[in-house]
Each structure stands twice: as structure tokens, then as C-alpha cells.
Structure 1
Amino acid sequence: MFKIGNCTDCTTCGSCQQTPNVDTPTLFCMNCQPSDAPCITICKNNAFYIFGGAITLDYSKCNGCLDCVDVCPLGIIEIQ
């Protein structure tokens, strides 16, 4: 999920977007290369996956440790 204060609706970085028309917005980030993405590297539960070239978070696998939040270079990951 995006931190509203950091999301620019793709007008600045153009790398991230929220999935429209869903109850729970999912992370859909294209800022980092998947092979170098710190969120994927640090996640011990493999909660991040690649979908259509974007890094996506499977909240059902997330244990809420917040490690990914700390390493995200854009600061857009929010775990609730």
C-alpha cells in the first residue's frame, strides 16, 4: 500500500502506481530492478513477487516486520 504523502500518482517518478478499483490497494512498483530490489532481498517470507514486470506485495505472506519499509528507496511501502 502506498503512503499517500509520498505517492505522486506517477506524475513525478512514473515508477509506481496503485491498482485501481480494488478494496485494498496493492504495491505495484517499477522503480527498482527486481534483481536489485531491496524489498525483495530483505523479505524473509517471500511476500514480494514480480507481476508484469512490477514488484508486487502479497499481503497474505507478510508478517508485518517492516524491514521492507525501512529499505524502500522511495518510501512508498506501508504495512497496516
Structure 2
Amino acid sequence: MNCLNCKTCESDCQLREVDTPSLFCMNCTPSEAPCLKECPNDAIEVLGGAITINEEKCDKCRQCVDVCPIGAIHI
């Protein structure tokens, strides 16, 4: 779930559970990205210097979510 329970948006919240994992991150260098190292399905990929999730490979195990240092991954 992506909701932060901040209560700011109440019923109009845009951060609800999503069916499609999302990520386009340039915070970590690919060689140091914990999500890329942690993914058991090799679903975390590098695209033009950004780290992304290959939706076809992702089984939504959330291991990448647990290791992301900035909370950028939403599944």
C-alpha cells in the first residue's frame, strides 16, 4: 500500500494500493542500488541510467520495497 496515512487528502488520496509496480529512480547508482541487488526475479533494471521495474518479471514480493533507502518503490 502506498498510503502514508498522513490524513492530508482524506478520501481523495492519490496514494492508494496499486496493481502495477512503479519506479523511475536515479537516487542510487545502479552498481550500488540495494533494490537491484535484492530482487530475486531480476525485475529491477537500468534504463538510461535510471532504475526501473520490469512489470513482466515482477511478482510483487516487495523485497525491493524493504531495502529502498528513500522509499521510492511502490507496489
The normalised TM-score by structure 2 is 0.69
Output the aligned Cα RMSD. Answer: 1.8
Aligned residues: 59
The structure in which a higher percent of residues are helix is: 2
For residue 57 of structure 2, what is the amino acid of its counterpart?
Answer: K
Which residues of structure 2 form unaligned runs of 5+? 5-19
For residue 25 of structure 2, what is the amino acid of its counterpart?
Answer: C
- Identify the residue that residue 8 of structure 1 maps to in structure 2: none
Q: CA–CA distance in 1 between the matches of 2:62 and 2:3? A: 17
Conservation of the 8 A alpha-carbon contact between 2:25 and 2:72: no
Q: CA–CA distance in 2 between the matches of 1:78 and 1:45? A: 17
Which residues of structure 1 form unaligned runs of 5+? 6-23
| Greater Rg by CA | 2
Please point out which of 30, 34, 37 is paired with 2:30: 34
Give the structure, 1 or 2, with the largest relative contact order (CA under 8 Å, sep 6 or more).
2
- Identify the residue that residue 47 of structure 2 maps to in structure 1: 51
Q: CA–CA distance in 1 between the matches of 2:38 and 2:29? A: 14
Identity of aligned residues (%): 56
Structure 1 segments of 4+ aligned residues over 4 angstroms from their partners: none
The normalised TM-score by structure 1 is 0.65
What's the secondary structure of 2:52's corresponding residue?
strand
